[in-house]
Amino acid sequence: MTQMNHAKHMENAGNAGNAQQAKRTGRGRRAGSATALVASACALALSLSLAPAAVALDADASEQGPVPFTAATVTAGADGSYTLAWSAPGVPYVEIRADGKVVARGGSEGRAVVTGLPAADRQWFDFKPGYGQGLRLADRLVKLQGTVNFRDAGGYRTADGQWVKMGQVYRSESLGKLTEADLATLQRLGITDVYDLRMDAERTKDPDRLPTGATYTVADVLTGSGALQTAPTTPEEAVTLMIDTEKAMAGSAPGKAAYGQVLEGLRHEERRAAVVHCTAGKDRTGWAGAALLSALGVPRETVLADYLASNDYRRATDEALLARLTPEQVALYKPMLEVRPEYLDAGYNEVQAQYGSFDRYVQDGLGIDAAELKELKSELLVGRPV
């Protein structure tokens, strides 16, 4: 596919001028065409707004001891309500507070719907068990005007019963369309560091807008990785391209250097909170989330669920884009707009092939040794192993 034909194809794909953002990477005509095609699927999907409900969790670091909760969620409703659900086997009761006031009580397992709370950037709930350490929970999504996929990367239970803190690390799409109100929200959330995983052409075309005082770090995943060398012309080639790109993100030297840089930065981020993002917040950011959660000990099925959640958060945006395309274009673009289990599996398979285990990948591939990983866990996990 030549660049001229590719440009014509993109024009016919529904006023998709922004799709050329990755075209000027300097890696040749075919590489530029492939990069533009994939980047366009990300960039085009950012043109509308979406704010679905989601679930989330956090921990109360003021307490010490094991966390008895095996599951706990907060789901924000479109009507301003919050649905709380929990499971803490063997605990005699659970009390839930919001803004210092008791809003629900129940036994070891329960569900409650809370209404009438004042509007907030994020509404937090403190789940207090009859014994053991509590959890602080919030809906996972941070609703912003300029993004649809800005969400908390924490709130998951590890295989040994600890919990990943919330409010510490966020994952997102491009921050270039943030409004002044969005920036004020991020300021109130305490965002101090932004890690940008995009290539130079993407960063130049759509530079981030940052909250005041935030430190900006480029951790380019794909430049020099060998990915995106050929533009797909069929749906099957599009799937193959996404799988091969996932392998490059996880296993190439630039990819490992970029993700190692992010984990190292988070390990030292005493001023946290941090945001990690790419263009659509699903592929490069998806592997960043998978690498972080896997390193912290979150089960793979949970990591996969977090990875696939981008499909839910981005659904309205992607469906609106696809509605403007021809059936042939839909078939080509859909694999690149979505995240799929086989994409994430390709990253894990590449790790297995190169290192034999994820632990070795973290240590030898990402450069985080055992002592540094312990420090990262002490920063981001709460509760004692069980």
Active site residues: 278
One-letter amino acid identity for 351?
V
List the structure tokens of 220: 């380019």
Q: What's the rounded Cα separation, in Å, for the pair 251 and 242?
A: 14
> Which helix (H) or strand (E) segment is 43 a member of?
helix 29-44
Contact 58, 298 (CB under 8 A): no
Phi, psi for residue 381 in degrees, rounded to 5: -110, 155
* Dihedral sign computed on CA atoms, order 305, 207, 260, 225: positive
Residue 162 near residue 299 (C-beta atoms within 8 A): no
Calpha distance 49→205 (Å, rounded): 20
CA 290 to chain CA mean position, Å: 9
Mutual orientation of helices 284-296 and 370-380 as an angle, nearest 10°? 100
Q: Give me Rg for the CA atoms of the chain.
A: 21
